[in-house]
Amino acid sequence: MGRKPTYAELEKRVMDLEQSSLSRSRAKGALRKYDLIFSAIEDPMGYIDSTYTCLAINNVFLAALNKTRQEIVGHTLDKLLGRKTFEEKIRPHLDICLSGQKSYLEDWFEYPALGRHFLAVHFHPYFEDDGSVSGIAVVARDMTTHKQDQLELQKARDDLEKEVRQRTAELVKTNEELKRQIAERSRAEEALRQSEEALRAQYRGIPIPTFTWKRSGDDFVLVEYENGATGMYWSSQIAIGHDNSLRVRIYGDGGSIQWFQEEPEKITVVKKDGSLTEHHRGYGSIAPAAAKYARLPSGHPEGWIEAMANLYRSFIECIRAKEAGTFAEDMVDFPTVSDGADGVRFIEACLKSTRNGNTWVEL
């Protein structure tokens, strides 16, 4: 038989048991507190040891995984998550923590109960008193809504950039088309200019019927002015149906204007769009410089005699202004001696052209 313990030894054993029981009770109390804090965290959280085994997990994580605590705690992560997910996404970050450093992961995960979610996962190493790492605390935050907003924003930016590229390409294409049209128009205008120049050259090289008082009484004169404008004069003594029939017609890019001596009361303006306007003597559309020669109200015709009288009156007014010292050049609105000399030179040029075989003569 063995030796019976002494009373002192028994008393020491009882005291050791009581101390051990108290420590266990305190440890259980502390564990309950940590478990309460652990479960109160709203983000999914777990604790993994150095063998990649889950030692603790909170209720939020359990709900997301749709598993019981017994199905998670004590099992390795490759069994819980699948080897592919564990090896490619999780293990590299756990190994970083086991080396004593924090790690961070953002990625999409498939929750059995919640479906596909985007998580921001923080990995924190747990250090023992001796500085060694015994485990990793894992905290995951659901960033699905934020990630979806980012993706939608990125899609909107991509769509906008695509739209801008398309609009820019359309503008470039339109700009190129405008350049092409402008170039074509420039070429057409240059071709027209060259054609007109060639036509003028042809006119200069062919016989031209010119004004002469010694022909049949039906004569034409072609003229070209200093600004490039062209014109024609027709004088006839055999045009049956035309009495005196002095007519003036001017044609331009925007329309035409004409005045007939048989109808001296009006000037007719025809615009390019086809509209026709008649300006009659005695109305406000006539310029003051011309309106001052109208003696009678509109509706009472004036004619050849009044026109001659207007010339005489203008001439007399200039003479009187000279005598009074009030004369100004803009008062002269009647043919002068210089105008008469120009007329004589014009007739001489016509006769010279006829003698030379109807060629152009410079004035």
Q: What is the pLDDT of residues 148-168, one digit of tens each?
A: 888 888 888 888 888 888 888
Whether 29 has a pLDDT exceeding 80, the answer reads no
Q: What is the pLDDT, as a whole number, of residue 204?
A: 52
Q: Please give the residue that has the higher pLDDT: either 22 or 196.
A: 196
Q: Whole-number mean pLDDT of the chain?
A: 79
Residue 298: pLDDT band (50, 70, 90) is confident
Residue 281 gets which letter from DSSP?
Answer: T
Give the lowest-confidence range in 5-19, 69-83, 90-104, 284-298. Answer: 5-19
Phi, psi of 285 (to 5 degrees): -75, -10
The DSSP bridge pattern shows strands 54-57 and 276-280 to be unpaired
Q: Which of 110, 140, 146 is nearest to 42 (CA)?
A: 140
Whether 172 has a pLDDT exceeding 70, the answer reads yes
CA atoms in the 13 A half-sphere facing the CB of 113: 9
Model confidence pTM above 0.75? no
Residue 244: pLDDT band (50, 70, 90) is confident
Whether 21 has a pLDDT exceeding 60, the answer reads no
**Segment holding 219, helix H or strand E:** strand 218-224
Phi, psi of 235 (to 5 degrees): -125, 125
Question: Can you tell me which residue has the tokens 């030692």?
Answer: 55
- Name every residue whose Cβ is closer than 8 Å to that of residue 343 and which is 6 or more positions away in sequence: none
Residue 336: pLDDT band (50, 70, 90) is confident
Residue 270: pLDDT band (50, 70, 90) is very high
Q: How many CB atoms lie within 10 A of CB 81?
A: 17
CA dist 273 to 36, 189, 251, 255, 333, Å?
93, 22, 14, 8, 33
Q: How many CB atoms lie within 10 A of CB 354?
A: 20
What would the mean pLDDT of 115-122 be, rounded to a whole number? 86
Q: Please give the residue that has the higher pLDDT: either 310 or 101.
A: 101
